[in-house]
Amino acid sequence: MSKSELRILGQDDTDAACCSPMVREPLDASDAADLARMFKALGDPVRLRLLSLIASHEGGEACVCDLTGPFDVSQPTISHHLKVLREAGLVGSERRANWVYYRVVPAALARLSSLLQIAPAPAKGGVRA
Amino acid sequence: MSKSELRILGQDDTDAACCSPMVREPLDASDAADLARMFKALGDPVRLRLLSLIASHEGGEACVCDLTGPFDVSQPTISHHLKVLREAGLVGSERRANWVYYRVVPAALARLSSLLQIAPAPAKGGVRA
DNA sequence: GGTTTGTATCGACATTCATCGATACAGCTC
DNA sequence: GAGCTGTATCGATGAATGTCGATACAAACC
């Protein structure tokens, strides 16, 4: 398993219904703690670039050997950052032969994205035209 | 002024064109540093709930007096967190009489949201509808 | 089996961060 | 002006974080 799990991105409604944007209602404390762990994982430039490199890599996955090159930090540091992303649920990893391949977890990114989504036209009375 | 600034949310295209999702191409280092500061600001449960409270408050704004109640932390701590959100560009503040009102900066949230947006159908071979 | 290559863990260190109490500042009301 | 209320800043402190070199683990290759 875990390889054949390629589900369509916004399609799994187990997670899809979870996240109305936070303009609609205030987050409760437990949701906030959960989401904050994910945002915190994104709160480092190296990790952000790592995620971007993984997401934009061909096939949607990249091995660690592809990721250590573009940075000025050491290999243990890259490994540490990947672990943070993995434990936040933003990426998953799989070992194939000598290499470990990382790929993004689309549902996690979609959850954060939709949380930050803002109503395009709030129809809030005074703001009209 | 500054009160009449209520522009429609996703409408200002000055920032709207900035952000192709990071699946399309890897972020460069300076963009990543900029974005990481914003995500880091979201990486705390108190700040996330603060932002949510502000965004969901009627009129799209809330005074600090509305924000200190729901938390177990002290008033200076709330003030500190609001400062972090403000310096990250996620909220703006305005003083009116005794009270200071905070409101979200929609363009900032939209930028982060669209960055995390994932291509709805990557045309990955098998996954098509 | 020994060696080599790719990745993760360990221990240490400097820096940043979240939090607090005390206090200062801003603006209202009397 | 005096006092009051709402908010921000200051200084301190314990905890978390990013980084490194050294080292351990995993899998291939000879």
What are the pLDDT digits (tens) for A65-91? Answer: 999 988 999 999 999 999 999 999 999
Residue A14 or A94, more confident: A94
Contact A36 B51 (CB under 8 A): no
Rounded distance in angstroms from the CA atom of residue A84 to the C1' atom of nucleotide D7: 36
Give the C-alpha separation, A23 to A86, whole Å.
28
| Cβ <8 Å between A27 and B52 | yes
Domain chopping of chain A, boundaries:
29-116
Q: Is the ipTM of this complex over 0.85?
A: no
Among all protein residues, pick the one whose CA is nearest to the C1' atom of D26. Answer: A98
The CATH-assigned architecture of domain A29-116 is Orthogonal Bundle (1.10)
Length A27 CA → C13 C1' (Å): 37
B56-85, pLDDT tens digit by residue?
888 889 999 999 988 999 999 999 999 999
Q: Which CATH number fits domain B27-116: 3.20.20.80, 3.40.50.1820, 1.10.10.10, 1.10.3720.10?
A: 1.10.10.10
A19 pLDDT tier (thresholds 50, 70, 90): low
Whether the pLDDT of residue B8 is over 70: the answer is no
pLDDT of residue B58: 85
pLDDT digits (tens, 9 = 90+) for A54-65: 998 888 899 999
Query: Which residue carries 């061909």 as its tokens?
Result: A58
Contact by Cβ (8 Å): B11, A31: no
What is the Cα Rg of chain A in Å?
Answer: 17
- Name the residue among B35, B32, B121, B125 with its Cα closest to residue A106: B121
CA distances from A34 to A90, B43, B46, B53, B112 (A): 12, 10, 12, 17, 18
Q: Which amino acid is at A81?
A: H
CB atoms under 10 Å from CB of B8, counted, come to 13
Residues 1-60 of B with CB within 7 A of strand D: none
